[in-house]
Amino acid sequence: MADMFSLDGKIAVVIGGAGSIGGAVALGLAQQGAKVSIASRNLERLEASKKKIQEETGAEVALFQVDMNDEQSVIHLAEQVLSEFNTVDILINAHGANTKSPAEEFTAEKWDALFDLNVRGIMFACREFGKIMIKNKKGKIVILSSVRGSRATLWGGNLGYCSSKGAVDMFTKALASEWAQYNINVNAVAPSLVAKPETWATRTPEQIEKYLANIPLKRVADPKETAGIFAFLASPASDFITGQVIYLDGGLSAVA
């Protein structure tokens, strides 16, 4: 039973692996035995994430610079990982952002930049790392979506974000269906608000009330709480799960 959750020796790439969620996920995969590479733009943040993972697990961590808005940069990332490790078993897309704008003021530039990062960048990464997984006839892809891919907010500004995450949810299902023939599992994780306790403590009572209104567990997730579901979806324990959007939302999607 314990082996079903092991990632021993698996080659994993976490894009956005210096982010709040991506960093926790990369650490979780390393704790389960994976050889983890983390990638994003800012080298200093990558170095800090690498140091934390190495200190906590003793595992070696590789880091690569990538700009997910740039197709060539993503292609280069896959080439670098292949040249260093010869293969890839697990791809985590944990990068992303929210560009808020009132719907009536959304510019083409803002809209395109958001979709380039949150949707197109994921397509590039899956395409490039997927080529390796197709050759291997196996692979695990986990994509960070959001509960906002299927539930809008009661407050404004999130038209672009919600739309991009809705696209991510459907991307996950379509890719899972297309690549099932290659034994590649594709799933998404959809959190509600994730915040470090120190960040959450700076919120006003009004903000807290707003965010927790429709969360049955009446709290937000700590980034550390995101790692488990990613490790599960990367492990043999989830071999028959594909095309799913798993809600990590304190019950929000059960009631809203």
Ligand X SMILES: NC(=O)c1ccc[n+]([C@@H]2O[C@H](COP(=O)([O-])OP(=O)(O)OC[C@H]3O[C@@H](n4cnc5c(N)ncnc54)[C@H](OP(=O)(O)O)[C@@H]3O)[C@@H](O)[C@H]2O)c1
In whole angstroms, how close is the CB of 138 to ligand X at the nearest point? 26
Examine residue 67 and tell whether it contacts ligand X (CB under 6 A): yes
Rounded Cα gap, residues 189 and 244, in angstroms: 8
Return the number of the residue (207 or 236) whose C-beta is nearest ligand X: 207
Which H/E stretch holds residue 171?
Answer: helix 159-179
Rounded Cα gap, residues 56 and 155, in angstroms: 39
182 is catalytic: no
Among 193, 229, 231, 233, contact with ligand X (rule: CB under 6 A): 193
Examine residue 42 and tell whether it contacts ligand X (CB under 6 A): yes
Rounded Cα gap, residues 199 and 209, in angstroms: 15
Site string for ligand X, 204-243 (x = CB under 6 A): ----------------------------------------
Q: Tokens for 11, please give them.
A: 């080659």
Examine residue 127 and tell whether it contacts ligand X (CB under 6 A): no
Examine residue 78 and tell whether it contacts ligand X (CB under 6 A): no
Examine residue 144 and tell whether it contacts ligand X (CB under 6 A): yes
**Measured between alpha carbons, how far is residue 61 from residues 10, 87, 92, 150, 152 in Å?**
13, 16, 15, 34, 37
Return the number of the residue (3 or 44) whose C-beta is nearest ligand X: 44
Backbone angles phi, psi at 7, to 5 degrees: -115, 25
Strand ranges of the sheet holding 139-144, from the earlier edge strand across to the other edge: 61-65, 35-40, 11-15, 90-93, 139-144, 184-191, 245-248
Residue nearest to ligand X (CB): 96
Return the number of the residue (16 or 33) whose C-beta is nearest ligand X: 16
Return the number of the residue (158 or 185) whose C-beta is nearest ligand X: 158
Return the number of the residue (21 or 227) whose C-beta is nearest ligand X: 21
Examine residue 199 and tell whether it contacts ligand X (CB under 6 A): no
Examine residue 95 and tell whether it contacts ligand X (CB under 6 A): yes
Identify the active-site residue in 161, 182, 211, 247: 161
In whole angstroms, how close is the CB of 41 to ligand X at the nearest point? 3
In whole angstroms, how close is the CB of 13 to ligand X at the nearest point? 12
Q: Taking phi first (over 0 means left), then psi (-120 to 50 degrees means alpha), and beta for anything else, what does residue 173 get?
A: alpha
Cβ–Cβ < 8 Å for 46, 63: yes
Among 6, 20, 31, 253, contact with ligand X (rule: CB under 6 A): 20
Examine residue 68 and tell whether it contacts ligand X (CB under 6 A): yes
Cβ–Cβ < 8 Å for 199, 221: no
First-residue to last-residue Cα distance in the chain: 35
Residues in the site for ligand X, rule: CB under 6 A?
16, 18-22, 40-42, 45, 66-69, 94-98, 117, 144, 146, 191, 193-194
Indicate which residues carry an active-site annotation: 161
